[in-house]
Structure 1
């Protein structure tokens, strides 16, 4: 019977100490990790596609402007497109390491995600890119939030401690 003041020797029916749900099994990947895994892969593919389109699009604005302005716009588009394509490739590579766990890939992934949010929102705000950049920034910010859910944190911590305690595996 659970008491108002639980002790370390409380019975097995204490609701505060019972492990519930699929996170109780240490071999199961949390559902949140599966969701963010596939979201990151789809977003990375969309970022690569968007980056390549921006890199190869050229100038698409009005023709009655100065050539120097056209060159500046094209250079900005190539820069933003290159960053998005490269970040998409890095995100896909780091995402593949998430189910096995490890703190460092997740931290690097967070840094890349924050860079993408910053660059894409600034590009959208200055009209150097289209609506796709704002969409990418919002989805990437959502993925960064999901990536640090408590179930994922405990999964990563378990995997990290298993590597620290058994370095030969």
Structure 2
């Protein structure tokens, strides 16, 4: 009559919401799409980061030298973060099809850090329009990375790995 922690084996409230529909060995189509989107975004981040890092001062010439130096330092910082994060995102993305929980969590944390830095840089005009595009793409990919079909695939692979370690 009342729910309790010691219910029978067929409690309708504790059934999985999403039953895996694909065979155990297949990768969801959405995961393939997110995989390629992440690799393309990582390549774009590396390119943008290298351009920002090497661009130098491109503003008005009549500004004070200390201002020019501060702008170049900010550009180098933002460019370095984007280039480094692009390399790390590409490396972590390569681990997604095997379905590890930890790489996906680290990838999400890194993506959110880059989104924050790039949006702040774009809003303060410390970087170009490409930083806004990168932030939007990463936010969309982070959203898609935690869809139920991808989560089921990663849970299935994680449990298979845990069970193989116990043998």
Partners of 1:124 and 1:75 in 2: how far apart? 16
Partners of 1:40 and 1:55 in 2: how far apart? 22
Q: Indicate the residue corresponding to 1:73 in structure 2.
A: 71
Structure 1 vs Structure 2 CA RMSD: 1.9
Q: TM-score, normalised by structure 1?
A: 0.86
2:162 aligned residue (153, 161, 164): 164
CA displacement at 1:167 relative to structure 2: 1.6
Whether 2:141 is the aligned partner of 1:129: answer no
Seen in structure 2, the aligned counterparts of structure 1 residues 126 and 155 have a Cα distance that, compared at 3 Å, is: same
Partners of 2:83 and 2:113 in 1: how far apart? 13
CA displacement at 1:168 relative to structure 2: 7.8
Partners of 1:168 and 1:127 in 2: how far apart? 53
CA displacement at 1:42 relative to structure 2: 0.2
CA displacement at 1:24 relative to structure 2: 2.6
Partners of 2:47 and 2:34 in 1: how far apart? 20
Q: Indicate the residue corresponding to 1:95 in structure 2.
A: 93
2:142 aligned residue (141, 144, 156): 144
Q: TM-score, normalised by structure 2?
A: 0.87
- After superposing on structure 2, the runs of 4+ consecutive aligned residues of structure 1 that deviate more than 3 Å are none
Q: Indicate the residue corresponding to 1:11 in structure 2.
A: none
